[in-house]
Structure 1
């Protein structure tokens, strides 16, 4: 089955840097995954495997930690989930599509905490929810950027990763 792994915490420098995506694909192939592809430097991996999500997540995490030294959380999705997330985008053409971000987690969201968060006023920024993920609209001109992955993780008690709508759309097609 085709799986998409979204790495949380990849940085361009320092301890969580992935030197080259081609190297990442190489070490994951050697670890036993097949048809490994990567997409852009932020840590998006497409592979084929029969492993359970838990075992796949562990394999990717441990392989990266052992071979590269980066300690990254792994959020797993399948292509139909990504396709659904793209199709459920709640922001219409009146929004700058390049400023729409999708937030994914492996865990369940606490409904009470999420509902409280969805009721908050984030000024120019917007937070919405659908069946597969959270959606954030983060306009360039927003005076106070409050919405980000760290904020959501702290408020909701989850591990999450964020991708632009265009990236999720591309991953759903690969």
Structure 2
């Protein structure tokens, strides 16, 4: 069985992670684990990534009244994102990885407005954004980020570590 990491979009911090776990188990996913209160869930499934993503998003939509948006990645993808992170002088909590449903167009960064010196880099289905002053008060405008969900580099590393530990149980 493949270990998947699902990253939920539009989930309020402090949301019902026990409910998320129950929904995943109800879909037949196994070894379900959640990480912090921001829509991160790991599990095993024999289904294809896109099928897992669609089924989870649909089930969450029924519970929440609206589909939140679910991005599913493998441990290998998370490992690569952590290893290839640009902006080596950035604090890991100031470097966000935006997970997108599909690869953004090559010109996605051309529309970026970065008044606080933010930097961004495309990487497959993700966009890295370095917020030198933190993301909380940033006035960054980058339309390509709207469909995605972000996690800081520390969280990406932890999720990769958790997925590796799950894979090690095989």
- Report what 1:18 is aligned to: 15
Secondary structure class of the residue paired with 1:172: helix
Structure 1: stretches of 5+ with no match in the other structure = none
1:145 Cα deviation from its structure 2 partner: 1.7
Rate the CA distance shift 1:122–1:56 in 2: closer, same or farther, 3 A: same
Rate the CA distance shift 1:141–1:72 in 2: closer, same or farther, 3 A: closer
* 1:48 aligns to 2:36 (yes or no): no
Structure 2: stretches of 5+ with no match in the other structure = 163-170
* 1:38 aligns to 2:31 (yes or no): no
Contact 1:18 1:68 in 2 (8 A): no
Contact 1:85 1:132 in 2 (8 A): no
What TM-score, normalized by structure 2, do the two folds share?
0.81
Match of 1:171 among 134, 159, 167: 159
Distance across 2 between alignment mates of 1:70 and 1:18: 15
- Report what 1:145 is aligned to: 138
Contact 1:81 1:132 in 2 (8 A): no
Contact 1:124 1:139 in 2 (8 A): yes
What TM-score, normalized by structure 1, do the two folds share?
0.80
1:48 Cα deviation from its structure 2 partner: 0.7
Match of 1:64 among 60, 67, 71: 60
Match of 2:97 among 76, 99, 102: 102
Task: Tell me which stretches of 4 or more aligned residues in structure 1 moved more than 6 Å.
Answer: none
1:97 Cα deviation from its structure 2 partner: 2.3
